[in-house]
Amino acid sequence: MWRCGHLAERLWLDPGFAPPPSWPARIGTVCPGYLVSLPAVEEVSYAYQWFDAGQLSQWLDGAPIPAALKQCLSVLKSAIAGVESAMLNDAKG
């Protein structure tokens, strides 16, 4: 598997995953499929759905939003915007 985080590095195949054409020419160190399967990423992704719908406080049962969750949601929102922007630019040609 190409740089699968579930496998020992000695079993990784290179060159790994190339970024989309419009992104800087660098190769990620770990397969994106592995990264999105991490429990913290899954949890923030789930929280983002509630955040995006304006219902995060309901998901948290009215508890204050933890600072770490705020930061993670901000990073995720920025990443989503970056991917959407790259996709639009790629579609324009």
Residue 67: per-residue pLDDT: 96
Residue 4 has pLDDT above 90, yes or no: no
User: Count H helices, E strands: the chain?
Assistant: 4, 0
For residues 40 and 4, which has the higher predicted lDDT (pLDDT)?
40
Residue 49: per-residue pLDDT: 95
Q: Mean pLDDT in the chain?
A: 84
- Name the pLDDT band for 36 (thresholds 50, 70, 90): confident
Domain span including residue 29? 1-37
Kindly state whether residues 48 and 70 are assigned to the same domain: yes
Kindly state whether residues 44 and 88 are assigned to the same domain: yes
Nearest-angstrom CA–CA distance, 36 and 48: 14
pLDDT digits (tens, 9 = 90+) for 74-87: 999 998 998 888 88
Kindly state whether residues 8 and 20 are assigned to the same domain: yes
Q: Which of 1, 9, 8 is nearest to 32 (CA)?
A: 1
| Mean pLDDT across 36-51 | 93
Kindly state whether residues 48 and 26 are assigned to the same domain: no
Kindly state whether residues 30 and 52 are assigned to the same domain: no
Domain count, the chain: 2
- Name the pLDDT band for 7 (thresholds 50, 70, 90): confident
